[in-house]
């Protein structure tokens, strides 16, 4: 089992003994365990949905050194689940906002802030001073980067991931356990990952999964219980069902197998098929800007606006387009008149680009993608339309 | 011979293609047959599970009960009455991404 052995002797002050008394009277923690917690150095990647409860509980529990990596600022849409940030923090750096809350909870905390995007250039350097890495990121390139850097530096990767009302948790990259690549050797191709925020997430779910990650971190530090090594926990918040799958260390794993082919950090955007920051799906389809659409609609030109979002998104806001969700389009294409000029939109332009490509294949000649979707319309044409 | 009935667990991102169900029951002797039966009922699911060349997508893992079929007999893995088959895609989130279009 992966135990974090501490070499530095630490002592607890009178104030700390009082603060951690509910830990100290438990034989599973005790003075020795609390000293281990104080000596431990945990790095949280991201202070978002997963990172919020994770960092809050680790700080409260008495983890001595907590590192935070984030480059983002607090956004209004974060507040539904990123509970370390308050309404007053909107616009502030997430690092500063998180630091206030964490040191407010526990002034004994040694907090280390890394105001940067984790990258192949800085990951090994940042990981060096930590014992355990907790992955609270939200994208595939960083997931693979964190995993590989954990394997290369020999540090456990406490993993949590969420989608809508479903979560996954595990502990990867311990000495004998499997790593993330043993589970998923390859990321999904970028064409299959829509750039529009179609997903959504139940606000409490990252709380549930982030607290599970915190629990695993604490267990690894204390060396107690059975960590989620070699096990993938599946969480279905809607059914409130937990299932567990066995994970095996893959001897052919490119990073932790017997003959690794990945021996240093690579370009993870390239590995995940993402080039730079551009949206991968919007290429090649004719686009129209929101200002031009507005001008042409005002001029009463014959334009048919097709909205390919989901009905529940249409309820949030719409610009009067004809609603056919992207997935229904193949069955409902007969509702459209190919002789008319059609402007297709979604939330941000990703799904509508697919719809335009599909309609072009179906023989439509005059179809345009609304660049930036209804969110761009809300931002640049009509501020009364809510952004989401 | 009557084929055993097993249950396929559908992950959240794919439920929209199976009438919002979380599980689908199928009669099949192997994992491959179970998936075929699932796709007969829900043909829209095919492009999300298989590549255009007909190969299972690399970011979709399949389990019979708690075992990964990659370490059993892959799609030829036998299923017994009452077995649970799970489709487990990689999820990265965060709030913004689904591996399925």
pLDDT tens by residue, A233-264 = 999 998 899 999 999 999 999 999 999 999 99
Q: Where in the sequence is the domain holding A21, given as residue range(s)? A: 14-271
Residues A266 and A293 in one domain: no
| Distance from the A158 Cα atom to the nearest Cα atom in chain B, whole angstroms | 14
CATH of the domain at A361: 3.40.250.10
As a whole number of angstroms, the distance between CA A52 and CA A201 comes to 15
As a whole number of angstroms, the distance between CA A278 and CA A276 comes to 6
Cβ–Cβ < 8 Å for A167, A235 = yes
Average of per-residue pLDDT across A151-172: 95
| Distance from the B72 Cα atom to the nearest Cα atom in chain A, whole angstroms | 12
CA distances from A119 to A50, A265, B40 (A): 20, 9, 44
Residues A359 and A221 in one domain: no
pTM score above 0.90: no
Q: How many domains does chain A have?
A: 2
Q: How many domains does chain B have?
A: 1
Q: Do the chains contact at A246 and B13, CB–CB below 8 Å? A: no
Pairing type for strands A231-236 and A166-172 reads: antiparallel
CATH of the domain at A131: 3.40.50.720
Residue A169: closest CA among chain B residues belongs to which residue?
Answer: B91
Residues A126 and A221 in one domain: yes
Residues A356 and A233 in one domain: no
* Dihedrals phi, psi of A334, to nearest 5 degrees: -65, -15
Lowest mean pLDDT among A86-95, A365-374, B14-23, B24-33: B14-23
pLDDT of residue B55: 87
| Distance from the A163 Cα atom to the nearest Cα atom in chain B, whole angstroms | 6
> What average pLDDT does the structure give for chain A?
91
A 139-158 residues with CB below 8 A of B? Answer: 139-140, 143
Q: Do the chains contact at A239 and B58, CB–CB below 8 Å? A: no
Q: Which two tokens stand for residue A88?
A: 């007053």
> Hey, is the C-beta of A51 within 8 angstroms of any chain B C-beta?
no
| Distance from the B27 Cα atom to the nearest Cα atom in chain A, whole angstroms | 23
Residues 6+ apart with CB under 8 A from A366: A338, A340, A341, A342
Residues A241 and A321 in one domain: no
Determine, yes or no, domain membership for B97. Answer: no
Determine, yes or no, domain membership for B76. Answer: yes
Q: Which residues of A touch B89 (CB under 8 A)?
A: 188
| Residue whose structure tokens are 């179906």 | A362
Determine, yes or no, domain membership for B49. Answer: yes
Q: Do the chains contact at B90 and A354, CB–CB below 8 Å? A: no
Residues A254 and A172 in one domain: yes
Nearest Cα to Cα of residue A289 among A195, A373, A375, A370: A370
Q: Do the chains contact at B59 and A184, CB–CB below 8 Å? A: yes
- Residue B26 clears pLDDT 90, i.e. is over it: yes
Q: Please, which pLDDT band fits residue A104 given cuts at 50, 70 and 90? A: very high
- Residue B95 clears pLDDT 80, i.e. is over it: no
Q: Which of A271, A306, A333 is the last residue of a domain?
A: A271
pLDDT of residue A384: 95
Q: Please, which pLDDT band fits residue A284 given cuts at 50, 70 and 90? A: confident
Q: Where in the sequence is the domain holding B67, given as residue range(s)? A: 5-89
Determine whether A196 is an active site residue.
Answer: yes
Q: Which residues of B touch A166 (CB under 8 A)?
A: 11-12, 91
As a whole number of angstroms, the distance between CA A235 and CA A201 comes to 13
Determine, yes or no, domain membership for A44. Answer: yes
Determine, yes or no, domain membership for A338. Answer: yes
Determine, yes or no, domain membership for A293. Answer: yes
Residues A218 and A335 in one domain: no
Residues A267 and A291 in one domain: no
Determine, yes or no, domain membership for B10. Answer: yes
pLDDT of residue A196: 38
- Cross-chain CB nearest to A187 (options B13, B16, B59): B59
Identified catalytic residue from A150, A182, A196, A253: A196
Determine, yes or no, domain membership for A93. Answer: yes
Determine, yes or no, domain membership for B21. Answer: yes
Residues A116 and A152 in one domain: yes
Residues A134 and A214 in one domain: yes
Longest dimension (CA), chain B: 47
């Amino acid at each position: 089992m992966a135990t974090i052995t501490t070499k530095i002797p630490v002592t607890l002050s009178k104030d700390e003994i009082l603060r951690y008394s509910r830990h100290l009277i438990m034989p599973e923690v005790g003075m020795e365990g609390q000293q281990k917690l104080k000596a431990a150095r945990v790095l949280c990647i991201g202070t978002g949905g997963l990172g919020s409860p994770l960092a809050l509980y680790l700080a409260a529990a008495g983890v001595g050194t907590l590192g935070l990596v984030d480059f983002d600022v607090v956004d209004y849409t974060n507040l539904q689940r990123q509970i370390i940030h308050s309404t007053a923090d909107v616009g502030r750096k997430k690092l500063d906002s998180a630091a206030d809350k964490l040191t407010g909870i526990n002034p004994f905390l040694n907090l280390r802030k890394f105001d940067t995007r984790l990258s192949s250039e800085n990951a090994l350097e940042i990981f060096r001073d930590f014992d355990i890495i907790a992955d609270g990121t939200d994208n595939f390139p960083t997931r693979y980067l964190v995993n590989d850097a954990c394997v290369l530096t020999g540090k456990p990767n406490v993993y949590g991931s969420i989608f809508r009302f479903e979560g996954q948790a595990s502990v990867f990259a311990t000495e004998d356990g499997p790593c993330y690549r043993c589970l998923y050797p390859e990321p999904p191709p970028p064409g299959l990952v829509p750039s529009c925020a179609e997903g959504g997430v139940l606000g409490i779910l990252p709380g549930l999964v982030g607290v599970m990650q915190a629990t695993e971190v604490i267990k690894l530090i204390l060396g107690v219980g059975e960590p989620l090594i070699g096990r993938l926990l599946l969480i279905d918040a809607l059914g409130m069902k937990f299932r567990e799958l066995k994970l095996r260390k893959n001897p052919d794993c490119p990073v932790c197998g017997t003959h690794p082919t990945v021996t240093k950090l690579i370009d993870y955007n390239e590995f995940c098929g993402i080039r730079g920051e551009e949206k991968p799906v919007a290429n090649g389809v004719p686009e129209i800007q929101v200002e031009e659409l507005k001008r042409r609609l005002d001029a009463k030109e014959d334009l048919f606006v097709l909205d390919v979002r989901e009905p529940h998104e249409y309820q949030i806001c719409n610009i009067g387009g004809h609603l056919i969700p992207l997935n229904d389009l193949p069955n409902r294409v007969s509702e459209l008149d190919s002789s008319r000029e059609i402007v297709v939109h979604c939330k941000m332009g990703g799904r509508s680009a697919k719809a335009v490509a599909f309609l072009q294949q179906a023989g439509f000649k005059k179809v345009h993608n609304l660049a930036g979707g209804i969110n761009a319309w809300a931002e640049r044409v009509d501020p009364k339309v809510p952004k989401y | 011979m009557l084929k055993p009935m097993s249950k396929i667990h559908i992950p959240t991102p794919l439920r929209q293609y199976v009438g919002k169900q979380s599980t689908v029951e199928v009669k099949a002797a192997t994992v491959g047959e179970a998936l075929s039966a699932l796709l007969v009922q829900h043909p829209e699911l095919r492009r999300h599970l298989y590549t255009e060349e007909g190969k299972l997508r690399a970011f979709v893992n399949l389990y019979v009960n708690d075992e990964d079929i990659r370490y059993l007999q892959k799609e030829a893995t036998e299923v017994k009455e009452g077995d649970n088959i799970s489709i487990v895609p990689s999820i990265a989130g965060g709030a913004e991404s689904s591996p399925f279009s």
